[in-house]
């Protein structure tokens, strides 16, 4: 599947200072009939791209903003969290890759609490990197591939459904956060 997100860009602000803005992803499509796996992969990619589309055009400061007190949610926190989700589920749990945890690993709130404005470009790139690594990690595994997690047997198929649900849930949060930041809706 072709990558759908453009590279990060820099743009000049009014005072001549160069500032980063979140890149705009390319539209994503996919099959709506046919084999199950291409549909799961495409729908996950659509959910992934939706998150970056919600973030598109915002500055690093805007991504880090927490506009709905007392919640600590920010778009940057969601980017960090979903990078961690990709690594944990696809790479560490399904493929059993020995890779270090992101943001103190599962259950830690540091992905939401410790995002820094200066790190926003790197965090977006980390998410995109995790997409590719996650896809690569499971590319040769069948959907019926299983592993044990918390004394339950999981299939790769269920992991796709779980991660799609995770993105869908957090994309709803992201929509509300974006609207609070600049009034933009329906991204």
Q: What is the pLDDT of residue 145?
A: 98
- The pLDDT tens digits of the residues spanning 133-158 come to 999 999 999 999 999 999 999 999 99
SS3 state at 156: helix
Q: What is the pLDDT of residue 105?
A: 83
Residue labelled with tokens 């590319």: 139
- Buried-exposed string 113-142: b where 16+ CB fall within 10 A, e elsewhere: eebeeebbbebbbbbbebbebbbebbeebe
Q: What value does the CA radius of gyration of the chain take, rounded to a whole number of Å?
A: 17
**Strands 146-149 and 9-12: what pairing?**
unpaired
Domain boundaries 28-182, corresponding CATH code: 1.20.120.450
- Residue whose C-alpha is closest to residue 23's, from 3, 44, 62, 52: 52
Q: What is the pLDDT of residue 9?
A: 42
- Residue whose C-alpha is closest to residue 19's, from 77, 74, 61: 61
pLDDT in 10s for each residue of the chain, 187 residues: 333 333 334 444 445 455 899 999 988 889 999 999 999 999 999 999 999 999 999 999 999 999 998 999 999 999 999 999 999 999 999 999 999 999 888 888 888 888 899 999 999 999 999 999 999 999 999 999 999 999 999 999 999 999 999 999 999 999 999 999 999 987 7
Cβ atoms of residues 75 and 63 within 8 Å: yes
Domain positions in the chain? 28-182
């Amino acid at each position: 599947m072709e990558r759908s997100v453009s590279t990060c860009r820099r743009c000049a602000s009014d005072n001549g200072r160069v500032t980063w803005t979140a890149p705009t992803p390319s539209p994503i499509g996919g099959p709506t009939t046919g084999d199950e796996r291409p549909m799961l992969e495409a729908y996950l990619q659509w959910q992934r791209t939706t998150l970056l589309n919600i973030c598109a055009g915002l500055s690093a400061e805007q991504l880090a903003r927490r506009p709905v007190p007392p919640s600590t949610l920010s778009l940057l926190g969601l980017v960090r969290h979903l990078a961690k989700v990709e690594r944990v589920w696809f790479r560490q749990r399904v493929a059993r890759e020995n890779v270090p945890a992101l943001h103190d690993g599962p259950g830690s709130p540091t992905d939401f609490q410790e995002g820094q404005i200066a790190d926003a470009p790197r965090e977006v790139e980390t998410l995109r990197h995790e997409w590719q690594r996650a896809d690569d990690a499971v590319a040769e595994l069948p959907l019926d591939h299983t592993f044990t997690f918390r004394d339950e047997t999981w299939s790769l198929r269920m992991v796709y459904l779980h991660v799609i649900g995770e993105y869908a849930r957090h994309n709803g949060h992201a929509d509300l956060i974006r609207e609070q930041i600049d009034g933009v809706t329906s991204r």
